Amino acid sequence: MHLTLHADYALRVLLYLAVHPDRVVSTGEVSGAYGISKHHLVRVVQGLGRHGFVEVRPGRSGGVVLARAPAEISVGDVVRHMEPDFHIVECFDPKTNTCPITPACGLIGVLNEATRAFLATLDKYTLEDLVRRSPRKLSAYFLKPVADAEVG
């Protein structure tokens, strides 16, 4: 299983916001903390907002905050909404499938089962669980001064 960068960055944004629950966070700050393109993060944050995971506050002093408590944000739900598809192999997409053995292939069912198991495992965890399970305090990794992170 491989998640796209879009889903990966969505989870990272949510983790960052969970560690900073007391304030509005700019996308520039998150970009600086992770060393990720601000342009890409803006699209990720927009998607998170569309699906109700974050609240985007416009304006000069705007930014983003969690729309729900971390305990109410399922990791599986985030991945389902932020991952464009779960086409593990070519035959999962009927529009682009060229595999000649698809009608007789036993692999499709196994891979579908594996995908369901993957998502079922993610469904067991919330954003709060991820923050609590961290072997080290996540906030220690986000010590870069806000002023530096917002430049650019």
- Provide the pLDDT confidence category of residue 150 given band limits of 50, 70 and 90: very low
Nearest to 122 by CA among 70, 88, 77, 72: 77
* Paired tokens of 93: 């997409």
User: What is d(CA 7, CA 1) in angstroms, rounded to the nearest whole number?
Assistant: 13
- Cα-Cα-Cα-Cα torsion 75, 80, 82, 88, nearest 10 degrees, comes to 120
Q: One-letter amino acid identity for 101?
A: I
**pLDDT per position as a tens digit, 73-110:** 999 999 999 998 888 888 888 888 898 888 888 888 89
Q: How far, in whole angstroms, is CA 108 from its chain's centroid? A: 26
Nearest to 16 by CA among 72, 70, 59, 89: 70
Is 149's pLDDT higher than 60?
Answer: no
Helix (H) or strand (E) holding 56: strand 54-57
Q: Which CATH code is given to the segment(s) 5-150?
A: 1.10.10.10
Please report the pLDDT score of residue 145 as a whole number. Answer: 46
User: What is d(CA 92, CA 35) in angstroms, rounded to the nearest whole number?
Assistant: 33
pTM here? Answer: 0.84
**pLDDT per position as a tens digit, 10-64:** 999 999 999 999 899 999 999 999 999 999 999 999 999 999 999 999 888 889 9
Break the chain into its structural domains and give their ranges: 5-150
